[in-house]
Structure 1
């Protein structure tokens, strides 16, 4: 939609309607945008690729903001609707497809390891535990029993449509997967094997995901 410089826009903060935190809001020509993703200065190609994917392929109204030390992507919102939105996610598009695919691959490897190493009873308990996570944090297309089974067993690289999870869903999933892995196995040795699962993706997608993981608040526990 727009590629802008810092001097072109006004950025302020407002209180999130459902969370005890301040969030940045960008204003440009009477329109408002919410921060979706941030990239380092040396990640221009990644930032532009995500911006093009959101605008060209998903039809989202987004701003790519160019600053000397970073690039950021902002999604259009309506403030009056945002103020009354229970989830606080109005106008926020799904996370980048490689991030969703990678998190699903990690989840599936964790599930398979529980089943292979700890047995069917523990695998069923794992299904119940992850179902509670999906329900508690309102993951789209993840609460029905058939949908849950597909998420745990169907190769995400072959899924006709990925679940429309947003960045905050992936952050929560990373946290909960790591917590559950430690609960089931008693240590963090599972993490390396789970991360190996992303090697099924293309080299470009792997690089994009690993950079995102290193910068993500919940990704640090995996690296």
Structure 2
């Protein structure tokens, strides 16, 4: 019996107390061998053009000195997008809907940016705490507000991704549970709504991974 509506997102498959659900995080690695065929497929060509476009966009944000970071954010985008898409498949655990995973991605990135910025660009980091043109009376309040907004950045990144993935999957689950109680004529309307929601969730899977990677790159650009 389901004790909570959100219990459908709980890890439940295990062998010898080892959770098997988190193995779904690495299912995206199964797609990598397709990139090394002698004759690239259309999927590989499309993925290459997508990564090149992302790399150019990250290069504009990060500048010419930090092009190596663009590869890091492309890898981050790839990991999140594969996990979001795999969560749409039946009986596949959606690891990106859990704060354990999203925080483990956002928090180390934020800490590394802060440590690098405060050690190498201390004056630049201090200047970010007080926006240009702030009156002297408001400076202490602006420092407090900017400090709080900077501290909560990894939390907002993690919660944004997890909440968006949970919301769509929860709506799909609620509509799916209505199926047995509906008549044969109405169930076709429900199936149509499920298909439309599935397409919407596929778009959300790409958008949220893009938003996570872009915001992370913007935070990285502020420490230089």
- TM-score, normalised to structure 1's length? 0.27
Higher RCO structure (Cα 8 Å, ≥6 apart): 2
Asked which structure has the greater CA Rg, the reply is 2
From the two aligned structures, give the one with the greater strand fraction. 1
